[in-house]
Amino acid sequence: MLTRSPTTPSPTSPMQVEPAFRSRLTTALLAALLSASVACAEPPGLERLGEEACRALTGLYDYDATIPLEARIVERKELNDGLREKIVLRGVQGFLVPGYLQLPATGDGPFACVLLLHGWSGSKDSWYQDGNYISGGDARRALLEAGFAVLALDAQCHGDRIAQNDFAPVNHHVDDSAESQPRKGYFSREDIYVQTTRDYRRAIDYLLSRTEIDGERIGVLGYSMGGTQAFLLTGVDPRVKAAVAVAAPAERSKWTIVAPQNFVDGIGKRPLLSIYGRQDAMCPVPFAEALHASLESEPKQQIFFDAEHRLPADYVPHAAAWLKKHL
Q: List pLDDT tens digits, range 114-133.
A: 999 999 989 999 999 999 99
DSSP states of 50-95: -HHHHHHHHGGG---TTS----EEEEEEEETTEEEEEEEEE-TTS-
Q: Which of 115, 130, 119 is nearest to 280 (CA)?
A: 119
Residue 262's pLDDT is what?
95
**Residue 81 belongs to a domain:** yes
Contact partners, residue 84, CB within 8 Å, separation at least 6: 76, 77, 78, 100, 101, 102
Domain CATH number, residue 288: 3.40.50.1820
**Residue 67 belongs to a domain:** no
On average, the pLDDT of the chain sits at 85
Angle at Cα 318 formed by Cα 299 and Cα 117, nearest 5°?
90
Residue 139 near residue 132 (C-beta atoms within 8 A): no
CA dist 209 and 68 (Å) reads 13
Residue 158 near residue 123 (C-beta atoms within 8 A): yes
**Residue 53 belongs to a domain:** no
Q: List pLDDT tens digits, range 252-307.
A: 788 889 999 999 999 999 999 999 999 999 999 999 999 999 999 999 999 999 99
Q: What is the pTM of this model?
A: 0.84
Q: How confident is the model at residue 45 (pLDDT cuts 50, 70, 90)?
A: low
**Residue 28 belongs to a domain:** no
**Residue 1 belongs to a domain:** no
Residue 232 near residue 263 (C-beta atoms within 8 A): yes
**Residue 27 belongs to a domain:** no
User: Residue 13: helix, strand or coil by DSSP?
Assistant: strand
Q: Which of 257, 265, 321, 253 is nearest to 297 (CA)?
A: 265
**Residue 113 belongs to a domain:** yes
Q: How confident is the model at residue 161 (pLDDT cuts 50, 70, 90)?
A: confident
The answer on pLDDT for 223 being more than 80 is yes
When computed from its CA atoms, the radius of gyration of the chain, rounded to whole angstroms, is 19
Residue 2's pLDDT is what?
36
Full domain range(s) for residue 117: 72-176+180-326
pLDDT, greater one: 126 or 173:
126
Residue 7's pLDDT is what?
34
**Residue 304 belongs to a domain:** yes
161 — phi, psi (to 5°)? -95, 15
* Omega within 30 of 0 (cis) for the link into 110: yes
Q: List pLDDT tens digits, range 72-91.
A: 999 999 999 989 999 999 99
Instruction: Look at the chain and report how many structural domains it folds into.
Output: 1
The answer on pLDDT for 46 being more than 80 is yes
